[in-house]
Amino acid sequence: MPSKKPLDRQVVVITGASSGIGLASARMAAERGAKIVLAARNAGALTEIRHEIEQAGGEALPIVTDVTDRAQVEALARATIDRFGRIDTWVNDAGLSIFGRIEEVSLEDHRRLFETNFWGLVHGSLASLPHLKRSRGTLINLGSVASDVAFPLQGMYCASKHAIKGFTDALRIELEEEGADVAVTLIKPAAIDTPFAENAKNYTGRAPKLPPPVYRTEEVAEAILHAAENPRRDIYVGGAGRIMSAAQAVAPRTFDRIGRTMIGQQLQDKPATHRDGALYAPREGGNVKGGHPGYVMRRSLYTRASLHPLTTAAVVAGMGFAAASLLNGPRHR
């Protein structure tokens, strides 16, 4: 895909910008000269982030937005055009999870998760497209390794990420057939050290965590900003996620058996707190990092290599070998 304009000439809209990946991306993009539109439910956090960016010499516009409400997302797009005159990159990052067995989670909570993760992303995509067509811009959707594989205890989260992949891929094809010069990228992070677990609703009674390996939030932000300037169809963040996707594609039943171990890997040996999470109301914002109790990898060599075409083939071959090793491992016990 052809490169887009450099970040210091872009207007970038980011949903879910009050914490985690959205916040890390906003800070990093502002440091590189982009004009940033911050969208989230937490008005206080957005005001503080705007002040921080402006103190550093950047420019940011905070817009309180609940992505489950199409009218609010349309208003976000209009406010961006009113202020800056265009949208160059739109990042659909807002999302959350629920820890609990599918049968135990209420239908109301299942629906609310889908309204946020899937329909919030659909609202953002459709609201931004007329403007991105004019600017020849980029749409970046946050999927997950869970767009390819499924994990127990986060079943509806995985379902929403599978739906995001289907929607994003179909939209990309339609835009290409139309001849629209809009790049569409799906970002697929593995486990990332954001407030993800703390913001999830929790049915388990034990404090949740993400299965290792866990990567630093800034690795995803780097991938997002790379896509804003150099569009890619898909970007995996974390070699572990790419291995899991490859293993599931090659031997799904074997991967199912391996996946059973992830129940224990997602629960800590201490009681849960803040069990309602941020499903219906925002929690404290302003945090890029989460409270992961284990080691956090500073960088993903796979992701950094895959963003440079000359090294991609070698890296993918290595991922295939690792996936085969993962699938063969249990047989030698």
Residues that are catalytic: 157
Q: Is the dihedral of CA 168, 172, 174, 175 positive or negative?
A: positive
Give the tokens for residue 5.
């304009």
- Contact assessment for residue 277 and residue 202, using Cβ atoms and an 8 Å cutoff: yes
179 contact partners, CB below 8 Å, separation of at least 6: none
Instruction: Look at the block and give the residue holding tokens 């703390």.
Output: 198
317 contact partners, CB below 8 Å, separation of at least 6: none
Q: For residue 109, how many other CB atoms are within 10 A of its CB? A: 19
Give the tokens for residue 115.
């309204």
User: Which SS3 state, helix, strand or coil, does residue 206 take?
Assistant: strand
Give the tokens for residue 107.
């239908």
| Number of alpha carbons in the 13 Å side-chain half-sphere of residue 50 | 15
* DSSP per-residue string spanning 91-140: EE-----EES-TTTS-HHHHHHHHIIIIIHHHHHHHHHHHHHHHHT-EEE
Give the tokens for residue 147.
């767009």
Instruction: Identify which of 229, 199, 224, 284 has the alpha carbon closest to the alpha carbon of residue 27.
Output: 224
Each residue of 180-190: b (16+ CB within 10 Å) or e?
ebbbbbbbbbb
Strands 138-142 and 183-189: parallel
Instruction: Identify which of 307, 159, 163 has the alpha carbon closest to the alpha carbon of residue 233.
Output: 307
Amino acid, single-letter form, for residue 227: A
